[in-house]
Amino acid sequence: MSEGAVLRAVALVGATASGKSRLAMDLCAGTDRLIICCDSVQVYRGLDIGSAKPGLEERRLVRHAMLDCCTLPDRFSAVRWAVQAQACIRTENAQGRIPLIVGGSGFYLRALLEGFADIPEESSAVRAALRQRLREHGIEALYGELCACDPCLAETLKPKDTQRIMRALSVFKTTGIPLSEWQKRSHSRPSMDCPVFILECPRSLLRERIAERFYAMLEAGWMREVHWLAGLALDEDHPARRAVGYRQLLAHVEGRVPLDEAIRAGITATRRYAKRQGTWFRHQTPAAVFGSAAEFARGLCKALGL
Q: Per residue, what are the HEC states of 55-99?
A: CHHHHHHCEEECCCCECCCCCCCHHHHHHHHHHHHHHHHHCCCCC
Contact 144, 155 (CB under 8 A): no
- Position 295 scores a pLDDT of 84
Residue 288: per-residue pLDDT: 87
- At the topology level of CATH, where does 124-185 sit? Histone, subunit A (1.10.20)
Give me the pLDDT at residue 187, please: 63
In this structure, which topology does domain 7-117+188-304 adopt according to CATH?
Answer: Rossmann fold (3.40.50)
Walk along the chain (306 residues) and give the pLDDT tens digit of each residue.
556 689 999 999 999 999 999 999 999 998 999 999 999 999 999 999 999 999 999 999 999 999 999 999 998 988 899 999 999 999 999 999 999 999 999 989 988 988 777 777 788 888 889 888 988 899 999 999 999 999 988 998 888 888 889 889 988 999 898 888 887 775 666 788 999 999 999 999 999 999 999 999 999 999 999 999 999 989 888 899 999 999 999 999 999 999 999 999 999 999 999 999 988 888 877 788 888 888 887 888 888 887
pLDDT of residue 79: 86
Every domain of the chain and the residues it spans: 7-117+188-304, 124-185
How confident is the model at residue 291, as a pLDDT?
87
Q: Give the pLDDT of residue 4.
A: 62
Given this model, what pLDDT does residue 61 score?
A: 95
Is the separation of the CB atoms in 20 and 104 below 8 Å? yes
Ordered DSSP codes for the chain? --TTSPEE-EEEEESTTSSHHHHHHHHHTTS-PEEEEE-TTTTBTT--TTTT---HHHHHHSEEESSS-B-TTS---HHHHHHHHHHHHHHHHHTT---EEEES-HHHHHHHHH-EE-PPPPPHHHHHHHHHHHHHH-HHHHHHHHHHH-HHHHTTS-TT-HHHHHHHHHHHHHHSS-HHHHHHSPEE---EE--EEEE---HHHHHHHHHHHHHHHHHTTHHHHHHHHHHT---TT-HHHHSTTHHHHHHHHTTSS-HHHHHHHHHHHHHHHHHHHHHHHHHH-TTPEEE-HHHHHHHHHHHHT-
